[in-house]
Amino acid sequence: MESVTYRLSPRAFDPYRQPFFRGTVEVGLAAKLTDYSERIGWLLVGVAVLGTVGYLLVRADKAKPPRWYFYPLAVAAFLGWAIGTTIEVAELFNLSQPELSGKLVIMATIFVVPLIDELLTRYLPATAAP
């Protein structure tokens, strides 16, 4: 009868579920992976930000380039979108309650970025440079 129970329960044979292994292997491995995943996460966010700005620079109209504040606003919009749509990115920014905070960030981004763009377009001269 005992063999039937073990056959039906694969967890009984899993050595990584034992307290010794859980304390040494899983926790140590999880700590290393968490450390690397945070670094990789920041690396990917940085690459995405640089990619966003690079793409916009390459695609910019040479005859009538965008105003200087277009690029910081594009980065702010991208980060707001990334935080609001990806819980992992929200966790990188150490937001309390990342899921809820992410939704609030994207909601604010949707309204604040166009408002700042409109205000800067109206009240800064067209020849303003960085």
Q: CA nearest 17: which of 9, 29, 8, 26? A: 26
Burial 58-70 (b: 16+ CB within 10 A, else e): eeeeeeeeebeeb
Does the model's pTM come out above 0.75? no
The predicted model gives 98-104 an average pLDDT of 91
- Residue 43: domain span: 14-123
> Does the residue 128 lie in any domain?
no
The predicted model gives 8-27 an average pLDDT of 48
> Does the residue 63 lie in any domain?
yes
Domain count for the chain: 1
- Burial (0-12, 13-18, 19+ Cβ within 10 Å), 23: exposed
> Does the residue 6 lie in any domain?
no
Predicted confidence (pLDDT) at residue 5 exceeds the cutoff of 80 = no
CA-atom Rg of the chain in angstroms: 24
The predicted model gives 42-54 an average pLDDT of 91
The predicted model gives 23-37 an average pLDDT of 53
φ and ψ of 94, to 5 deg = 55, 40
